[in-house]
Amino acid sequence: MLRQLTLDLGTPPPSTFDNFFAGANDELVTRLRELDAALTAGPVADRTFYVWGETGSGRTHLLQALAHEAAPGHVRYAGPHSGLDAFAFDARVTLYAIDDCDALSAAQQIALFNLFNEVRAHPASALVATGNAAPLGLTVREDLRTRLGWGLVFHLAPLSDEGKAAVLKHAAHERGIALADDVPAYLLTHFRRDMPSLMALLDALDRFSLEQKRAVTLPLLRTMLASPDPDAPFQPSALQPYAAQPSALQPSDQAASSKIGPHG
């Protein structure tokens, strides 16, 4: 039987610092949260940041939170899909948030190099960039790689299983979902563990629960995953179950957040 959703849930809640589970990344989150106000108040010693971590670690969330919570007109968000104009310096812009440096085109890398130099020359501005590796391992132009390593470098520490479960419960609460306690544990044991995949499944489960008029429980999750409907909101094949993978975190997942001084 073809199912029809009767309610459009719209977009998920915006990415903010309040709904980012900091875990071991408290110092980074605090610095970014206070950066706009600090620039307004006076000279700031550390004005360039590079944040790196694995896919799904929350890099984009933090940049979007920075853009969302800064004063209107103070921030510009750019990335691989932005035009070159987005990397041009503007004295009216206080914060530049540059996502996924490792995916920038050659022309964008040159533009970011020039933007970095402009920001360094203007004490009232700051730049926060992200990438998938530490500066020394970043596959970008050598001069840009060096610039990114000049400022504060933060490794965005992955969340523990307990942290990921807490994020899912918090996100469910924001959506008005009563999430059964055994659902996060089941997801972390059987399916992809990165937060974007987990959040996508939570959104699909939310829609399915509304359609079925049932609470979000483990039996409901299993019903959704067993659905043969090609129009279902989330297909089991997209989850890539980890049946053959160990449920424990790898050693790298246990790493604490680290701030590295200027280098490169």
**Residue 246 belongs to a domain:** no
Closest CA to 144 of 199, 87, 225: 87
Q: What is the distance, to the nearest Å, from the Cα of residue 228 to the centroid of all Cα atoms in its chain?
A: 32
Q: Which residue type, as a one-letter code, is found at position 216?
A: V
Residue 70 shares a structural domain with residue 153? yes
**Residue 172 belongs to a domain:** yes
Q: With beta carbons less than 8 A apart as the criterion, state whether 164 and 198 touch.
A: yes
* pLDDT at residue 230 greater than cutoff 80: no
At 196, which CATH number?
A: 1.10.8.60
Residue 204 shares a structural domain with residue 113? no
Structure tokens at 162: 């307990």
Which band of pLDDT confidence, cut at 50, 70 and 90, is reported for residue 36? very high
Q: Determine phi and psi for 211, rounding to 5 degrees.
A: -65, -45
Least confident of 31-45, 88-102, 103-117, 148-162: 148-162
Please, what is the Cα angle at 205 between 204 and 207, to 5 degrees?
A: 65
Q: What is the pLDDT of residues 64-117, one digit of tens each?
A: 999 999 988 999 999 999 999 999 999 999 999 999 999 999 999 999 999 999
Residue 153 shares a structural domain with residue 179? no
Residue 142 shares a structural domain with residue 184? no
Q: What is the pLDDT of residues 183-229, one digit of tens each?
A: 888 888 877 777 777 777 888 888 888 888 888 888 888 888 776 55
Mean pLDDT of the chain, nearest integer: 79
* pLDDT at position 79: 96
**Residue 244 belongs to a domain:** no
Residue 37 shares a structural domain with residue 143? yes
Q: What is the pLDDT of residues 12-29, one digit of tens each?
A: 668 888 878 777 889 999
**Residue 91 belongs to a domain:** yes
Query: DSSP string spanning 28-72?
Result: HHHHHHHHHHHHHHS--S--EEEEE--TTSSHHHHHHHHHHHSPT
At 82, which CATH number?
A: 3.40.50.300
Q: Calculate the dihedral angle through the C-alpha atoms of 146, 129, 199, 27, rounding to the nearest 10 degrees.
A: 90
- What is the DSSP-derived secondary structure letter of residue 175? T
Which long-range contacts does 138-144 make (Cβ < 8 Å, 24+ apart)?
Answer: 138/52, 138/101, 138/102, 139/102, 140/101, 140/102, 140/104, 140/109, 141/106, 141/109, 141/110, 141/113, 143/113, 144/101, 144/109, 144/112, 144/113, 144/116
Q: Which residue type, as a one-letter code, is found at position 210?
A: L
Residue 66 shares a structural domain with residue 106? yes
Count of CA atoms in the C-beta half-sphere (13 A) of 217: 6
Residue 74 shares a structural domain with residue 120? yes
Burial 223-241 (b: 16+ CB within 10 A, else e): ebbeeeeeebbbeeeebee
In this predicted model, which residue has the larger pLDDT, 49 or 259?
A: 49
**Residue 148 belongs to a domain:** yes
Residue 53 shares a structural domain with residue 150? yes
Q: Which residue has the tokens 């106000």?
A: 37
Using CA atoms, how far apart are residues 193 and 185, in angstroms rounded to an integer?
A: 11
Using CA atoms, how far apart are residues 18 and 173, in angstroms rounded to an integer?
A: 13
Closest CA to 260 of 10, 27, 19: 27
259's enclosing H/E stretch is strand 258-260
Which band of pLDDT confidence, cut at 50, 70 and 90, is reported for residue 238? very low
Using CA atoms, how far apart are residues 232 and 85, in angstroms rounded to an integer?
A: 40
Q: Which domain holds residue 153?
A: 26-158+255-260
